[in-house]
A and B are shown apart, each in its own frame.
Chain A
Amino acid sequence: MMIPACPLADLPRGEAFRLETDPAVTVFHTEDGELFAIDDTCTHQDASLADGWVEDCWVECPLHASKFNLKTGEVDAPPAKLPVRTHEVVVEDGMVYVKLSTAAPNLPHCAVRKLAGTTA
């Protein structure tokens, strides 16, 4: 499924755009001008990776500093142990689209509970 995110012009380098899909997805525009999309929720706990610290093609979780590779989703070190799901990004006519992955997401326990509608 292709989902329109935002005009490329509205996403300067170094910025992130969070799509309120379920689960949420974030598009990152790196300082080098590359675009990547990954699930927004850290696989450790309920943190939004859109709030994270991007360096090269890694985003560091804003809470406990596990880093996720924007290209592959791989995680560098604990406390997170599972990779984050990656999605394909397509730019057409100046518009950024995300092609959602069909793989199962690796959501943290608390986010899974929230999706299931019960409180953590």
Chain B
Amino acid sequence: MRTVAVVGASLAGLSAARSLRKQGYDGRLVVIGDELHRPYDRPPLSKEFLAGTVGEADLALEMDDEDLQAEWLLGVRATGLDRTDRAVRLADGREVRADGVVIATGAAARTLPGSEGLAGVHVVRTLDDARALRDELARGGRLVVIGGGFIGAEVASTAYALGLGVTVVEAAATPLAGPLGETMGGVVSALHADHGVRLLCGVGVKGLSGETRVDAVLLEDGRSIPADIVVVGVGARPCVEWLEGSGVELDNGVKCGADGRTSLAGVVAVGDCANWYDPRTGAHRRVEHWTGARERPDAAIATLLAGGAVEPGVPRPPYFWSDQYGVKIQFVGHAAGADSVTIEEGSADDRDVLAVYRRAGEPVAALGMNQPRLFTRWRKQLARPTS
């Protein structure tokens, strides 16, 4: 293999570039990214960076003295992948021919149809998004967050700490019920009310009102919630349009094997855009969390360099964290499919909990709220190979 192109210059792309060098690949390495920035860390964008306690320099993912001997093509979008001569086509007309391709184009924030061009309406996915929102939050006012998922909840928590009046609107009956299940979704989202942040559940958003700048969020039940700033936190969609017609099979992102291999030889996919097969559950799952984007490229690169000839190992179960209102939330495994949840330590009322999810008596997931020590033990236990 003489040239490898990594498309997407963020956590998964950088991790793949590092894995390539660590695993002994010494050929040409081209990293293509449509943002102008060098790889940076996203989790702080809804937390410390938004709060103003860490600056841009702290977000850099590369070490100061790091040199991967790569060509960085930044600020240019990949628009296609040509399977016959294995070339990545770029928006500026250039082409990068490569023997190996790593797809790491991540995901983009979903927006609210009809909100385009209305001032005061934000999403939080990129550094530029977070800068703009940070500047607005600093001016204060009433914030309405649409979507009670992790990013919405973190933005609400940060804005609350900055002194804004905050309302969170969630269409489902319980926020976070998907990733955490109804019971624990309820416990975690009770953090909002603990801090006087209003949470409206089970009601959809009809639209936004305002001429040039948003002034209210209109709910489907007819209510209108006054707003100076609106954050739309309604999830993300995988950035894979550029692969249409390339022969890479797409299904909720790039459909992959348990080691990141795609339907095309010499092409692997990693991070938020990749829908990996999970041997533990026997299903594909697109994991949109930091640790997977950081760790899984090791396996994908091993596969790429071996020409697909290695047997994929069983990846560690998906893990993520979130910080809300000073509480460290950690989760590992799959909540869907669990038939019971028990609190093994602490209490839900104190928001200090170690909860274990089981299916037919077997642990399948664990949630910690301010329980890093016990949580790590469970994470370790859940990572043991199942027999």
Contacts and interface: CB of A to CB of B under 8 A. Distances in A.
Contacts, number: 45
Contacts of A65: 291, 294-295, 319
Interface stretch (B109-117, B211-219, B228-236, B369-377): B369-377
A81 interface: yes
B15 interface: yes
B321 A81 contact: no
Contacts of B15: 77
Nearest to A55: B380
A48 B376 CA distance: 12
Nearest to B59: A79
A77 B372 contact: no
Q: Interface of chain B, helix or strand or loop or mixed?
A: helix
B18 interface: yes
A63 B61 contact: no
Interface in A23-43: none
Interface residues of A, number: 17
B296 interface: no
Interface centre among A62, A65, A109 (most CB of B within 10 A): A62
B290 interface: yes
Interface in B23-58: 41, 43, 53-54, 58
Nearest to B11: A78
Interface centre among B43, B54, B61, B372 (most CB of A within 10 A): B372
B375 A62 contact: yes
Interface in B313-352: 319, 321, 328, 330
A76 B62 CA distance: 12
A51 interface: yes
B61 A78 contact: yes
A53 B373 CA distance: 9
Contact of B54 (A47, A77, A109): A109
Contacts of A52: 376
Interface in A79-103: 79, 81
Given A53-B379, A53-B380, A109-B53, A77 B294 contact: yes
Contacts of A51: 372-373, 376
B283 interface: no
A64 B372 contact: no
A116 interface: no
B289 to A, nearest CB: 11
Interface string A60-80: 001111000000000001110
Contact of B372 (A63, A78, A109, A110): A63
A1 interface: no
Shortest 8 CB-CB contacts between residues of A and residues of B: A51-B373, A62-B372, A62-B376, A51-B372, A78-B61, A53-B376, A65-B291, A81-B63
Interface of A: 47-48, 50-53, 62-65, 77-79, 81, 109-110, 120
